[in-house]
Amino acid sequence: MQANIAGFDFTPPIHPEHGAWGTTPGMTEVDLPLLGRCLAIRQDERLLIWFGLDLCGNPVWETTELRAEIAAAIDIDIQQVIWSTSQTHSSPTLPGSNMPGGSGITVRGKFDPAYCDEQRRVFLDLCIGAAREAMDGLRPVQIRAGRGYCDTMSYNTRFPMPNGGVKFSRDHGEGLQSGKFFDPTIGLVVFEDETGNVLGAVFNFCSHPATMINDKYISPDWVGSARSEIETALDGAPAMFVQGFCGDVNCHHIFGTPAQAKASGERLGQAAAAALPTLVPARTTPFAYAFETIELACRAMHSRDELEDAMAIRQSFMDSLDTDPTAVWFDGINLPEATQYTADQKRASVKGQMNYFQEGLRILDAGESGPPNLSFTLGAVRLGDVAAVLSHGENFTATGMNVRLRSPFAHTLICGDTNGLFGYLGDDAEIDRGGYETDSFWKLLLLTDSLRLAPAKGSADRIIDTSTRLLWQLQDL
């Protein structure tokens, strides 16, 4: 097998009036550069180009367009381009998209069309250039693989409530009191040339980079300092981060500071660096990959009464903010506290859901029906003794644990936020609990212009079963 990793810097320029990339007026200061890594892997006629980028991410359909353009430029099939994003909440909206990099209420737009078009072209040219550089440097490699452990910089955000519901916990100490599972595993793969010189590495961990949200900073969040620690331990060789199944896991701080993001990343990076000497040699053959698209059943279309009741509850909450701007709870959902969100920001969050309900009423008035299912593509890659499961974002962390436990491989990376953002996917018990990820997130027109219905029960099991089957399919080669 041959491999190589190329690194590149795609930190957005700051438009004098419209902020980062000319799309996000509120982002006006660079904390740390946004970086990309491109891993090229080849064996015989098989080739993969795998990107790891400091971006929040884009919907599947937008990501498909990006992958297609890169694939066409380097004359390969789109399936050979893998696009993994870190989900940093301190990245601006990518030119050509309306997907926020911070939160659903982030102000964004194509305010200067010519400037935005130019910046999109610059970004894609950087990606294409990195792919070519990685391919040009392909050489025979050996692999070392293993894992590190860090349980001090993340936690499960879904705090169970006595009534069967759930609170979105935005406090590390509080979140730990639930005892809910979060994955402390740091997956590590190091590529070396035949003489033992390190060419680069992949590190895989499950936690939202959401220390800073709706702030002025452009930043990879904790991923940046974690990557620096690992690259220092590798004598400067590039390290590519791939996000795990982080749907219900956050980093130590939220609505925090660059210093807090740096501290969290250093904690993780030092744990990863400490594990590097323990990695063991792994076979590099065979190299293969497989993908499968499944259809996830949706929950039932909302009735008119459900839509109207939901709108009334939300209108009442917005009205209450006039006299109680610190209010956070409505309909089983808790918005950020007053120190994190202003009353106007809370109203903006709720209005996003109101737009969804209005679209639902329009569909009912037109005699139409909601979508019965949602297409979801899963993948698996085998590098000899090392495997990676590839999934859209954002599965819950226990789903990834269950895939790893069923994997036939000694080393299995659990890679979420790959080839596009899809939405939160929890298991049946978490669907029953409701809350932001399994309920209110799916009542937004965020990742698509059309109304989507939340995935039904059984969806997490479908993802586990399909991922496991793909892994065994590659194991049997």
φ, ψ of residue 245 in degrees (nearest 5): -90, 90
Partners of 218 in beta bridges: 30
Q: Could you tell me the pLDDT band of residue 446, with boundaries at 50, 70 and 90?
A: confident
Q: Could you tell me the pLDDT band of residue 449, with boundaries at 50, 70 and 90?
A: confident
Q: Count Cβ atoms below 10 Å from residue 46 Cβ, excluding itself.
A: 13
φ, ψ of residue 246 in degrees (nearest 5): -110, 15
- Is-contact 356 450, C-beta < 8 A? no
Structure tokens given for 144? 């070392």
Structure tokens given for 30? 């660079």
Instruction: Decide if pLDDT at 293 tops 90.
Output: yes
Look at residue 56 and give its three-state secondary structure.
coil
Instruction: Decide if pLDDT at 27 tops 80.
Output: yes
Q: Residue 331: left (phi > 0), alpha (psi -120 to 50), or beta? A: left
The per-residue pLDDT of the chain, averaged, comes to 97
Mean pLDDT of 174-201: 98
Distance CA 225, CA 221 (A): 8
Nearest residue to 332 via CA among 103, 160, 105: 160
Quick one: 283 exposed, middle or buried, by C-beta within 10 A (0-12, 13-18, 19+)? middle
Q: Could you tell me the pLDDT band of residue 57, with boundaries at 50, 70 and 90?
A: very high
Give ∠ CA 46-192-243 in degrees, rounded to 5.
Answer: 70
* Distance, first Cα to last Cα, the chain: 16
Mean pLDDT of 465-474: 99
Specify the residue for token string 């991410």. 57
Structure tokens given for 43? 């064996």
Distance CA 290, CA 387 (A): 11
Dihedral (C-alpha) 229, 147, 389, 55: value to the nearest 10 degrees? -10
Q: Which residue has the higher pLDDT, 467 or 449?
A: 467
Instruction: Decide if pLDDT at 337 tops 90.
Output: yes
State the pLDDT at residue 251: 98
State the pLDDT at residue 35: 99
| Percentage above 90 pLDDT, the chain | 98
State the pLDDT at residue 450: 87
Distance CA 41, CA 50 (A): 8
pLDDT in tens, 402-425: 999 999 999 999 999 999 999 999
pLDDT in tens, 193-246: 999 999 999 999 999 999 999 999 999 999 999 999 999 999 999 999 999 999
State the pLDDT at residue 331: 95
Omega into 394 within 30° of 0, i.e. cis? yes
DSSP class of residue 469 equals H
Partners of 158 in beta bridges: 168
What is the value of pTM for the model shown? 0.97
Q: Could you tell me the pLDDT band of residue 163, with boundaries at 50, 70 and 90?
A: very high
Q: Count Cβ atoms below 10 Å from residue 394 Cβ, excluding itself.
A: 27
- Is-contact 245 394, C-beta < 8 A? yes
pLDDT in tens, 357-366: 999 999 999 9
State the pLDDT at residue 447: 86
Lowest mean pLDDT across 40-49, 209-218, 343-352, 443-452: 443-452
State the pLDDT at residue 464: 99
Instruction: Decide if pLDDT at 466 tops 90.
Output: yes
